[in-house]
Amino acid sequence: MKVILAQPRGFCAGVVRAVDTVEQALEQFGAPVYVRHEIVHNQHVVEDLRAKGARFVEDLNEVPANAVTIFSAHGVGKEVENNAHQRGLKVLDATCPLVTKVHNQGRQYAARGYQVILIGEPDHPEVIGTLGQIPSPVVVVQTEAQVATLEFSQDTPLAYITQTTLSVDDTHAVVDALKRRYPQIIGPDTRDICYAVQNRQTAVRELSQCVDVVLVIGSPQSANSVTLRDIAAETGIPSYLIADGSAVHSEWLNDQSTIGITAGASTPEAMVSDVLNALSRIAPLQIENLPGREEHVHFRLPDGLITRQ
């Protein structure tokens, strides 16, 4: 079987920063350290950190007083931040800087008197955290159909912001629908969607043009991984979202197949190797890398950590 690997794929700079934050906190402060919500949406990453001494909680009330506490890459609302401060927790904020940028945009629009519309998935942790960062009511829309149900008058000052991990095409469509209905609306360019998400979406589109099957390695809880699978499926070829090599089904493939592989932004490269090992047990592999954009983004670790030299 021929295997073509997408470029780029896997970990983005925000995920690297978040995972490094937990690992260096364990090294600096010792176990346990407490992480509010899964640090990123990948069970292999979470289990690896749990084995090293991280404790994952959904509520700060589960964290002992004065304990080292890490906020996940998805971000949290002001109420969570204030609760941590009141309880005297030592907080390391691993919120992705690109998510923080969205928080800042939303607060700035609200401070200028705009009604803010957030394009995103209502139950996603990033959206919940963003809602909690903006000190005024925010309306969440996910689809063009939902835009059609908005009841703002034409003279309402409106501004939109977006979840960072959405499909660029879908977000474009919602923004266009908002602009058609409310020509006065303002907001950031859709290029403000996470650079890593955009790069991986571009790569999977290119990958889908030259393979028979696409395997997207990632968690079903990972919005960007699900989007990669959806984009590949839209091209009309079989596309599967799998967590690791154990999820590969031989009936998806044959020894003449050309298989495309990519990975979500929270998927470690070890899981790509695991899938390749699983495929090699079905048939000998010929592996190629699809040329693509190289990423050189690096984010500084949160305040409170002594960085390695």
* Catalytic residue list: 126
Q: Is 66 left (phi over 0), alpha (psi -120 to 50) or beta?
A: left
Contact 141, 150 (CB under 8 A): yes
Contact 111, 163 (CB under 8 A): no
* H or E, element range at 91: strand 90-93
* H or E, element range at 259: strand 258-263
SS3 assignment, position 92: strand
Kindly give, in sequence order, each residue whose CB lies less than 8 Å from that of residue 272, ignoring residues fewer than 6 positions away. 5, 9, 10, 217, 261, 263
| Residue matched to tokens 């020894």 | 255
* H or E, element range at 235: none
Per DSSP, 207 falls in state H
SS3 assignment, position 140: strand
* H or E, element range at 217: strand 213-217
In our burial notation (b when 16+ CB lie closer than 10 A, e otherwise), range 171-195 reads beebbebbeeebeebebbebebbbb
Q: For residue 230, count CB atoms less than 10 angstroms from its CB and return exposed for 0-12, middle for 13-18, buried for 19 or more.
A: middle
| Residue matched to tokens 């690791």 | 244
